[in-house]
Amino acid sequence: MFFKFLGPKIFGDSVSIPDILDSIPESGIRRLFELASRQKDVISLGIGEPDFDTPQHIKEYALEALNKGMTHYTPNNGLKILRDAISEKLKKENGIDADPDKNIMVTVGGNQAFLLALSTFIRPGDEAIVPSPYFVTHAAAVRLVGGTVVEVRTCIENDFRVVSEDLKKVVTSKTRCIIISTPNNPTGSVLKRKDLEEIADIAVEYNIKIISDEVYEKLIYDGAEHVSIASLNGMSDLTITVNSFSKAYAMTGWRLGYVVADPATVAKMTKFQMYLAACPVSFVQYAAARALQDPRSRAATESMRQEYQKRRDYLYKRLSNVDGLVVNRPMGAFYMFPRVDFEDNVFAEKLLSEGRVVVVPGSAFGTYGRGHVRLCYATSMSNIEEATSRIERFMRSLRK
Ligand SMILES: Cc1ncc(COP(=O)(O)O)c(C=O)c1O
C-alpha cells in the first residue's frame, strides 16, 4: 500500500528519492535570475552572498597549503588542526565545549550539513518545525529525507522572531526537531537570549533536537548579542549547530562549514560523508584553520560588518519613507524583508521589468514569506543608492 505524503510517494517505511525530488519546487530565486539575465542595466539585490573578496591572508594560507603538498584526502570528519581550531573558537566565542574528535565535523559548506544531520534521525512521516519564512535549504533538506515541514508563522510586527507559544502549539508525537536560524535569512531577524531560552525549554520538555543555523553569527548590528542555543543549560546534546566560513570571511566559493553535535550524530554524519564527498577540499581546510587563529581574520570580518551596517542603515532610512512598503529593521545578516501588500511574484517581476531592480519574492521562503520580498544589501553603496531611487519611482508608479 502506498499513499501520497506531501507530494512524494512513501511505500511502507521507504521513501522514493526521485519522487521527492519531483515534488520539491524549483527555487523561486533561480527563475528571477534567469529573467534578469535577459535584461540590461539591472541592479541586483537578489543574490545572498558577500560582495567582498576573501581576505588576502586567507588566500595566502591556501597557497601555502598547496605548496606544502596538501592535495590529498583528509579524514572524513575534517583535518584535525581545523577541528582543534574550531573547538577553541567555540569555547571562546560561543560558550560551547566541543571535543574536536567527537563533537565536530567539517562539512562542504554549511548547506551540506542540513541533509547530513537530518538524515541521522528523521524517518518518513517525522515532523520538523520550521519558523517561516525560512532559508530554502532547511525545508528542502527535511523533505529530501522524507520528513514533513511544519511551518510556524513569524511576522514583521514581531521582527520575525518566532514566538515559543506558537512552536508549542504544533509539537506532536511525530515532532523530531525545530530548525532555527539566527541571524536569519531571509528576514535579518536575530533571536534574543530569552527567545532561545524558551525554545530550549520546549526542546528539553519534549526531548526534541534543535538544529541551529548560525552562519551569520558575525554579521550582527547595533550591539545585539549572538547567543548559541547549544550553550544554554541542558542543550549541548540536543543541539546540532551549523556554521560556515562563507559569510564571516567572504568565502562562499571555498565551500567550507562545520557542525557541532553529540558524538552519535557526528559519527553517523561522518559515515554518510565518506560515501558523499569523502571530505571538504584539503587545502581549504588548512587555510580555514589558520584563518581562525589569525587576528587579521577578525579585523577583516569586523570591517565587512561595519560596511554592511552602514548599508543597512541607509536602506532602512530611505525605504521606511516609501508609501506601500512596510519595512523591518534587520538586526543581522544582510537582508531586509519588507511587506509589499502585493502578490510577491508579480511585484518582483514588475519591479524587474519596470524598475530594473532584482529582489526575491518572499514566497520562495515558505508560506509566510508571501506578500514580502527579500532585498540583499551585500552590494556596493552606489548600487544600493540607485536601487532605492528606482524602487521609490516604481512604488510611486504603482500608486498611480
Ligand atoms: C541561513 C543560511 N544557512 C546556511 C547557508 C549555507 O551557506 P554555505 O553553504 O555557503 O556555508 C546559507 C547560504 O546562503 C544561509 O543563508
Cis bond before residue 186 (omega within 30° of 0):
yes
What span, in angstroms and rounded, lies between the C-alpha atoms of 272 and 263?
Answer: 14
C-alpha 215 – ligand 1 centre gap (Å): 6
Closest ligand 1 atom to 257 CA: 11
- Please report where in the chains the cell 517561516 appears, as a residue: 132
**CA of 182 relative to ligand 1 center, distance in Å:** 12
| Band of residue 27 on the pLDDT scale cut at 50, 70, 90 | confident
Does residue 1 have a pLDDT over 70? no
Q: Which of 111, 218, 376 to mutate to test the pocket of ligand 1 (most atoms within 8 A of CB)?
A: 111
List all residues 6 or more positions away from 385 whose beta carbon is below 8 Å from its beta carbon: 314
Cell numbers of 137, please? 535549504
Give CA torsion, residues 125, 129, 130, 136, to 10 deg.
Answer: -20
d(CA 153, CA 81): 41
Q: What is the 2 CA–ligand 1 centroid distance (Å)?
A: 35
Q: What is the DSSP code (8-state) at residue 225? A: P
Q: In a 3-state reduction of DSSP, which class is residue 180? A: strand
Separation of CA 68 and ligand 1 centre (Å): 30
- The percent helix, strand, coil of the chain (3-state, each to 5) is 45, 15, 40
Backbone angles phi, psi at 220, to 5 degrees: -145, 140
**What is the pLDDT confidence band of residue 13, given thresholds at 50, 70 and 90?**
low
Residue ranges, CATH 3.40.640.10, the chain: 73-293
Rg (alpha carbons) of the chain, rounded to whole number: 21
**β-bridge pairing 9-11 and 2-4:** antiparallel
Separation of CA 212 and ligand 1 centre (Å): 12
pLDDT digits (tens, 9 = 90+) for 70-104: 999 999 999 999 999 999 999 999 999 999 999 99
Please give the helix or strand (H or E) that residue 210 lies within, else none.
strand 209-213
Ligand 1 center from residue 167 Cα (angstroms): 23
pTM of the model: 0.95
- Counting ligand 1 atoms within 8 A of each CB, the residue from 190, 214, 215 with the most, and so the one to mutate, is 215
- Ligand 1 first shell, C-beta below 6 A: 48, 109-111, 135, 181, 185, 213, 215, 244, 246, 252, 257
Distance of alpha carbon 342 from its chain centroid, rounded?
A: 26
Burial state string for 359-380 with b = 16 or more CB within 10 A and e = fewer than 16: bbbbbbbbebbbbbbbbbbbbe
- Ligand 1, atom 1: closest residue by C-alpha: 185
Separation of alpha carbons 194 and 330, rounded Å: 18
pLDDT exceeds 90 at position 298: yes
Decide if pLDDT at 3 tops 70. no
Question: Which atom of ligand 1 is nearest to 138's Cα?
Answer: 3
CA of 10 to the centre of ligand 1 (A): 29
Q: Which tens digit of pLDDT belongs to each residue from 83-92?
A: 999 999 999 9
- Within the chain, all domains assigned CATH 3.90.1150.10 are found at 2-53+298-399
Residue 330: count of CB within 10 angstroms of its CB: 28
**CB burial class (10 A; 0-12, 13-18, 19+) of residue 203?**
buried
Q: Which atom of ligand 1 is nearest to the CA of 255?
A: 10
Band (pLDDT 50/70/90 cuts) for residue 32 is confident
Q: Which atom of ligand 1 is nearest to the CA of 252?
A: 10
* Cell (9 digits) for 294: 589569525
pLDDT value of residue 10: 47
User: What is the atom index within ligand 1 of the atom nearest the CA of 112?
Assistant: 9
pLDDT in the model for residue 29: 74
How crowded is residue 158: how many other Cβ atoms within 10 Å of its Cβ? Answer: 14
Classify domain 2-53+298-399 by CATH architecture: Alpha-Beta Complex (3.90)
Residue 6 has pLDDT above 70, yes or no: no
What is the CA(48)–ligand 1 centre distance, in A? 9
pLDDT value at residue 34? 81
- Locate the ligand 1 atom nearest the alpha carbon of residue 185 and give its number: 1
DSSP letters spanning 69-124: T--S---TT--HHHHHHHHHHIIIII-----TTTTEEEESHHHHHHHHHHTTT--T
Measured CA to CA, the distance from residue 315 to residue 335 in angstroms comes to 10
Which residue's CA is the nearest one to ligand 1's atom 14?
48
The CA 257 to ligand 1 mean position distance, Å, reads: 9
- What are φ and ψ of residue 90, in 5° steps? -65, -40
Tens digits of residue pLDDT in 190-225: 999 999 999 999 999 999 999 999 999 999 999 999
CATH number of 73-293: 3.40.640.10
Q: Any idea which residue has 510586527 for its cell?
A: 157
Per-residue pLDDT tens digits for 244-268: 999 999 999 999 999 999 999 999 9
